[in-house]
Structure 1
């Protein structure tokens, strides 16, 4: 099958990046190459606010290097976009002409509104957050937006970024007075936009400085899950990282785990932007989006294919990607989901379990990816299922929700469940993880009822007596393999319904 590759070059004030995407079966774009160059173009602006000849040379050298990388791929389309430094340069026409003459690229200079818009578009198309404030701090500008019901309401670009804000400090590690001066400046700037104050919604951060903040926090906490996208922090977490960095000696700062060496001198002012904005907005939490401006540009391109800028359901699209990637059988998925719903509703209606609507949503999602680890190895399917789901980015799911999905979909037995849960036990109340165990055992039992993937059980009837639950299963073919697997698994269901479970497999009578 022919793969379609697309590329974007992002010319920022601090870094330049080439990112190459491949279009998946479901239509979404997956990153396959990410090349970074620390060009620091901002430092090449002279007194006349023009990019110097040395700066233009640095830009062209980097673009020519990117051009060499692109020869490996059959690229359908290349987008080359520039942000704050080129936008603010008084000789931008000269820069554009130099790029056109010396490379195969046509550089598009984004307006501040476009830059803010693409950040917003990336967030709403890669998370399930319906209302929030985005912040993207680059080297020379900081973009903020406010969206509600996934629609962009407000957008603004501040003419300061991590490179310009570090001028508040006389050295990389600021004094208390310098830090206080920066905080006062940022608070005043953010209060100049009335729509930012006291919003009490998530603050979603984009860009390299935000990624570094999260990586440092994860290292401090010895965070057990992989992945940065949709990682959540709070006010105290941001302040703890800031205090930790300020307490370091300058030479040791670049060696801090999780901090890129090229960001060591700008990470403290960047974190102050996040912390000040968190306080001004009275944010509900701080969430990282790994998808940013570059992704937003391509989401706009994809909209030409799907006819809308906003993907209707981010999470469903992500689950469909999992189904495609691990070659799961849609027919079996839908049948297992049908059987699971029958059992779930019967347990609820007969007072056998205290299930909620939210429990069904968890169970439904897990039914799509139940035992996807078989793709790697059938014998250790549960282990692979848990690891893949717990550690793979799933757009639309926060880390804790992703972990819940992994625990339910990978359920094998109580012992294995406890092994998987152990590093995360403090994340849940006892009643929460017990509920996850029950949901997992119910899904595993349903999966056993289609052990041979023939969809032979067409209907289920439950009768509850004082001492036991009688489950009558109506079959259209021989049921011996399903009966064997279900009898093995039923003890896990019996533990949460607190009754014996009697299984009666009978032929379905034809009308």
Structure 2
């Protein structure tokens, strides 16, 4: 299928961005390019409420540049959306008309409700957290939503943001202790007046660039072993420690921090206090970062109108596993076959009381089966190493960072030695019981994968039999719809890993 490119121009109060995406039914949604300009339009609004000539010219120049890029990239489908600064400008209609006449770009003025909705929609479709409060702090407004079991319950836009808070409370680029306290108490009072926010006791999901900065700062101080911040989780204690660190640094010191972009050094203080205030009002102990927000919400919404099955917010990982597997040469039929046969084998083991049945284990096994040894696409002999690296070092929608490592350990399972080598940087992430579970399921997946050595999905059923006269032997009747030459060879070669787990000799009978 032809991969279709689409773009979003996001005209915010702090930054203006052009982001280009590509979607196909085979490989899913990918971000190809992200160009940002720190325009700070909020500072160009006069006391009378009009965007001044300097701000208008700034916007016009950027749109000319973006239009040129859209033409060069051959992108016909794009949307240009404007949020708080243009929404709050009394001359916004004249500006929109001028931009269209001079650049051909039609700007959509998003309502507060639309802006909040698209942020929620991106989070619901890209992270697994079933219920949460989302917060997107822009330059001139802050959008808050509450969703429960992935359904939007409440949404509100509050008329303050990072740039407006700086103008209101800060006397210079360096924030004083008193100014920190003033922003915190102001934001807390604003949130308390939103009655549905009080004491929800659910995670808070941060969407904005400043939320990404907070996550990167936390990762840096912990020498975090993974890359990426999407679905990264922090505790309230982590948050308080970072806030204390920020409040002790000058503007110049903040600008030198590797994990903080220089254009956010003067606004990270107010933003951090807003996050802290919201967590206290919600009574939340968990802060989670979503790298997907307004722009992704718009794109996903548009894609779903054409392809209703492209995303599944009730099981975010399911559709992403399909895209991930296809990217590395596995068909949907193949991954569904592996998942089905693995579950058959698991249930047979439980039927004979060799393993204790667990719905959670079946779910984890199903995940691993869909991406098992995807590293073969790069190199057959090093498939395990490539699989672990690929899965542990890329953002996977629907999985938090621990779940991502868990999947990487399971899908790359080759033997116990390699498993423990991969586990070493993450030993304190998993209990002994979790480690043993992953080894069991990994050995099972290794055998199942061997039983599809010819990649023809010829195994139709597996039945386990135990003879009372030889209880030390596990007989596997493997029913096939074709001659299993490769499956016989690989199955008998790889069964030793499974034998160590079940502590029985395994005999394969192909029917």
Task: State the alpha-carbon separation in 1 of the partners of residues 236 and 133 from structure 2.
Answer: 15
- Find the counterpart in structure 2 of residue 320 from structure 1: 322
Asked if structure 2 preserves the Cα contact closer than 8 Å seen for 1:449 and 1:485, the reply is yes
Task: State the alpha-carbon separation in 1 of the partners of residues 6 and 457 from structure 2.
Answer: 41
- Find the counterpart in structure 1 of residue 508 from structure 2: 504
Q: TM-score, normalised by structure 1?
A: 0.94
Task: State the alpha-carbon separation in 2 of the partners of residues 475 and 144 from structure 1.
Answer: 55
- Find the counterpart in structure 2 of residue 256 from structure 1: 257
Task: State the alpha-carbon separation in 2 of the partners of residues 102 and 456 from structure 1.
Answer: 62
2:449 paired with 1:447: yes
- Find the counterpart in structure 2 of residue 20 from structure 1: 20
- Find the counterpart in structure 2 of residue 487 from structure 1: 492
Task: State the alpha-carbon separation in 2 of the partners of residues 500 and 457 from structure 1.
Answer: 22
- Flag the 1:405–1:164 CA change in 2: closer, same or farther, 3 A: same
Task: State the alpha-carbon separation in 2 of the partners of residues 248 and 493 from structure 1.
Answer: 55
Match of 1:469 among 445, 460, 474: 474
The alpha carbon displacement at 1:392 in A equals: 1.8
Asked if structure 1 preserves the Cα contact closer than 8 Å seen for 2:477 and 2:508, the reply is yes
Task: State the alpha-carbon separation in 1 of the partners of residues 184 and 334 from structure 2.
Answer: 57
Task: State the alpha-carbon separation in 1 of the partners of residues 471 and 414 from structure 2.
Answer: 28
Q: Deviations over 1:344-370 (max 9, x none)?
A: 112222222234110111111111111
Asked if structure 2 preserves the Cα contact closer than 8 Å seen for 1:471 and 1:501, the reply is no
The alpha carbon displacement at 1:45 in A equals: 1.2
100-109 or 122-131, which deviates more: 122-131
Asked if structure 2 preserves the Cα contact closer than 8 Å seen for 1:96 and 1:107, the reply is yes
- Find the counterpart in structure 2 of residue 59 from structure 1: 59
- Find the counterpart in structure 2 of residue 303 from structure 1: 304
- Flag the 1:68–1:418 CA change in 2: closer, same or farther, 3 A: same
Q: Deviations over 1:438-464 (max 9, x none)?
A: 111110111111212234444333223
Asked if structure 1 preserves the Cα contact closer than 8 Å seen for 2:375 and 2:384, the reply is yes
- Flag the 1:366–1:10 CA change in 2: closer, same or farther, 3 A: same
Task: State the alpha-carbon separation in 2 of the partners of residues 152 and 27 from structure 1.
Answer: 28
Asked if structure 2 preserves the Cα contact closer than 8 Å seen for 1:127 and 1:397, the reply is yes
- Find the counterpart in structure 2 of residue 404 from structure 1: 406
Q: TM-score, normalised by structure 2?
A: 0.94
- Find the counterpart in structure 1 of residue 94 from structure 2: 94
- Find the counterpart in structure 2 of residue 180 from structure 1: 181
Task: State the alpha-carbon separation in 1 of the partners of residues 485 and 322 from structure 2.
Answer: 32
Task: State the alpha-carbon separation in 2 of the partners of residues 504 and 378 from structure 1.
Answer: 25
- Find the counterpart in structure 2 of residue 213 from structure 1: 214
Task: State the alpha-carbon separation in 2 of the partners of residues 335 and 344 from structure 1.
Answer: 14
- Find the counterpart in structure 2 of residue 268 from structure 1: 269
Aligned residues: 506
Task: State the alpha-carbon separation in 1 of the partners of residues 309 and 96 from structure 2.
Answer: 31
Structure 2 unaligned segments of length 5 or more: list them.
Answer: none
Is the partner of 1:125 in helix, strand or coil?
helix
- Flag the 1:49–1:477 CA change in 2: closer, same or farther, 3 A: closer
Asked if structure 1 preserves the Cα contact closer than 8 Å seen for 2:218 and 2:238, the reply is yes
Q: Deviations over 1:382-423 (max 9, x none)?
A: 111111111222211111111111111110011110111111
The alpha carbon displacement at 1:469 in A equals: 2.0
Task: State the alpha-carbon separation in 2 of the partners of residues 490 and 65 from structure 1.
Answer: 60
- Find the counterpart in structure 2 of residue 38 from structure 1: 38
Asked if structure 2 preserves the Cα contact closer than 8 Å seen for 1:25 and 1:324, the reply is no
Task: State the alpha-carbon separation in 2 of the partners of residues 309 and 194 from structure 1.
Answer: 36
The alpha carbon displacement at 1:475 in A equals: 4.5
- Find the counterpart in structure 2 of residue 127 from structure 1: 127
The alpha carbon displacement at 1:158 in A equals: 0.9
Task: State the alpha-carbon separation in 2 of the partners of residues 136 and 296 from structure 1.
Answer: 13
Task: State the alpha-carbon separation in 2 of the partners of residues 336 and 302 from structure 1.
Answer: 29
- Find the counterpart in structure 2 of residue 116 from structure 1: 116
Task: State the alpha-carbon separation in 1 of the partners of residues 451 and 32 from structure 2.
Answer: 39
Q: Deviations over 1:464-494 (max 9, x none)?
A: 3432323233455554533332233222222
Asked if structure 2 preserves the Cα contact closer than 8 Å seen for 1:9 and 1:18, the reply is yes
Is the partner of 2:76 in helix, strand or coil?
strand
Asked if structure 2 preserves the Cα contact closer than 8 Å seen for 1:300 and 1:309, the reply is no
Structure 1 unaligned segments of length 5 or more: list them.
Answer: none
Asked if structure 2 preserves the Cα contact closer than 8 Å seen for 1:490 and 1:501, the reply is no
CA RMSD of aligned residues (A): 1.9
Task: State the alpha-carbon separation in 1 of the partners of residues 177 and 250 from structure 2.
Answer: 15
